């Protein structure tokens, strides 16, 4: 189960895919991390899905990650007396806190925090941007608005405020319950929705306390403005193009995607590109050519992983969607142009010693005689540093911790596997060579680069780079 590609696949589990047999088939087809979407499904559904992933992991002998995606705050209108009203450009109405069902003149918006954030002239987007409004007079309890575009408005439609930071916690009471449950059943990653500022991620990290890796979903313009600070608190980041596309102009979303990927790669933070990657495959057995190009472009940009949502959660062709995404990734990485793109950008050095060693390993790996790189890691930091350099050789990450192996399943180019804690330099060399040959990453006589840290078993940065050669016959490994 060694992948023939470096980019990873995240697939959402749902009614179409959470059965144990389907989960195993999806992993065989190419899924590296499975997403549990807490906007849908019950806790029992998610617990059963996680159990199915662990069963597939055992059957395939390959670590599989599980990502819990929290719903986040959903800002919505109240209800209309007749469920729906007709609107047109120039139509005026009032939003207020009164729970009485609305009509053409007024409707409830049960979020005082929005009223406090509004200013005259601000833009409001309703129903995923289908209705655009402009704010007129406002107080902390109501706002007069004018419709700029749209034709209908119905109950409980979502409200987006792209031009203001709404003072609301990214963790709702529902999210806190879901988070406690997700940590209890043992997920590997937690994704926080509608992050606006670094403090949102700091709050999540404080609650999680290292029991899972924490990922920020960038889906609001305000998060882009505070991206570097947000990345300080991230173990991973997601380009959530769905909601981001609601609050930004369409032409700005690709630019934002590139900016997020570039910033994440510079920091060595794994980055997922998500939403509508192969959307047409929810109902068709093949993607559009534009979708195939979208997937390919994310791979060319060096994203760690690409995500499937409805395609696998509720679509008619979940296996086919994973299969075609896998094929597109492999085809891009076979392009003679692709290696130069991966080599075009390397991160700066934060920790001088560790980063210098990792950069040296990447340079040494360029020799044609190098078959693979083996990284020994306890918490995953050394492996992520090596991945950040985007070496073209296969990378085997050996760790004694199952949770580390599962978290690293999301990271570009890494093949995480469980291994015992080495006790000596001889163990490091022998285990690296044995692992490389067992998994078919090195042939007899080929060179293996080994990256590790001492003292063994203590989390920390790499401080050891060794060269070894796979034995030609029954001889032991040769060290350099």
Neighbours of 305 (CB within 10 A): 24
Q: From CA 159, how far away is CA 205, in angstroms rounded?
A: 27
Q: From CA 139, how far away is CA 392, in angstroms rounded?
A: 58
Across 163-177, b (16+ Cβ under 10 Å) vs e yields bbebebebbbeebee
Q: From CA 181, how far away is CA 46, in angstroms rounded?
A: 10
Active-site option among 12, 275, 404, 429: 275
Q: From CA 230, how far away is CA 250, in angstroms rounded?
A: 24
From first CA to last CA, the distance across the chain in angstroms is 30
- Catalytic (active site) residue 152: no
Active-site option among 3, 5, 6, 35: 35
Active-site option among 76, 79, 106, 401: 76
Q: From CA 464, how far away is CA 461, in angstroms rounded?
A: 9
- Can you name the residues that pair with 134 across neighbouring β-strands? 123, 146
Structure tokens at 462: 């790499």
- Catalytic (active site) residue 217: yes
Across 145-155, b (16+ Cβ under 10 Å) vs e yields bebeebeebeb
Query: Is-contact 203 170, C-beta < 8 A?
Result: yes
Active-site option among 8, 138, 217, 388: 217
Catalytic machinery residues: 35, 76, 217, 275
């Amino acid at each position: 189960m060694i992948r023939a590609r470096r980019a990873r696949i995240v697939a959402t589990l749902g009614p179409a895919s959470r059965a144990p047999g389907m989960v195993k088939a999806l992993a065989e087809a190419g899924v590296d991390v499975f997403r549990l979407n807490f906007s849908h499904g019950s806790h029992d559904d998610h617990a059963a899905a996680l159990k199915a992933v662990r069963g597939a992991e055992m059957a395939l002998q390959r670590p599989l990650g599980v990502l819990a995606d929290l719903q986040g705050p959903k800002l919505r209108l109240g209800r209309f007396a007749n469920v729906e009203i007709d609107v047109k450009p120039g139509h005026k109405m009032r939003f207020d806190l009164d729970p009485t069902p609305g009509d053409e003149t007024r409707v409830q918006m049960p979020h005082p925090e929005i009223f406090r954030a509004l200013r005259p002239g601000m833009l409001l987007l309703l129903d995923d941007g289908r209705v655009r409004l402009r704010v007129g007079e406002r107080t902390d309890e109501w706002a007069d608005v004018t419709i700029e575009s749209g034709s209908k408005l119905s109950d409980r439609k979502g409200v987006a405020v792209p031009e203001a930071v709404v003072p609301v916690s990214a963790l709702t009471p529902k999210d806190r319950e879901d988070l406690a449950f997700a940590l209890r059943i043992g997920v590997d990653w937690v994704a926080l929705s509608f992050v606006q500022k670094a403090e949102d991620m700091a709050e999540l990290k404080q609650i999680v306390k290292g029991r899972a890796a924490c990922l920020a979903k960038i889906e609001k313009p305000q998060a882009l403005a505070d991206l570097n600070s947000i990345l300080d608190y991230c173990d991973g980041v997601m380009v959530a193009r769905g909601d981001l596309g609601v609050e930004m102009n369409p032409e700005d979303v690709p630019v934002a995607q590139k900016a997020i990927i570039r910033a994440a790669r510079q920091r060595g933070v794994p980055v997922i590109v998500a939403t509508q990657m192969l959307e047409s495959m929810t109902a068709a057995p093949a993607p559009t050519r534009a979708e195939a190009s979208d997937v390919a472009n994310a791979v060319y940009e060096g994203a760690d992983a690409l995500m499937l949502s409805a395609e696998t959660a509720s679509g008619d062709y979940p296996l086919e969607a994973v299969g075609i995404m896998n094929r597109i990734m492999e085809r891009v990485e076979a392009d003679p142009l692709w290696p130069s793109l991966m080599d075009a950008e390397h991160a700066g050095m934060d920790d001088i010693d560790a980063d210098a060693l990792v950069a040296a390993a990447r340079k040494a790996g360029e020799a044609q005689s190098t078959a693979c790189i083996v990284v020994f890691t306890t918490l995953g930091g050394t492996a992520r540093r090596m991945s950040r350099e985007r070496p073209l050789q296969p990378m085997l990450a050996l760790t004694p911790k199952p949770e580390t192996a599962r978290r690293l399943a999301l990271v570009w180019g890494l093949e995480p596997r469980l291994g015992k804690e080495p006790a000596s330099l001889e163990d490091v060399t022998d285990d690296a060579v044995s692992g490389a040959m067992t998994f078919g990453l090195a042939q007899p006589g080929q060179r293996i680069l080994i990256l590790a840290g001492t003292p063994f078993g203590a989390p920390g940065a790499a401080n050891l780079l060794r060269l070894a050669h796979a034995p030609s016959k029954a001889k032991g490994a040769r060290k350099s």
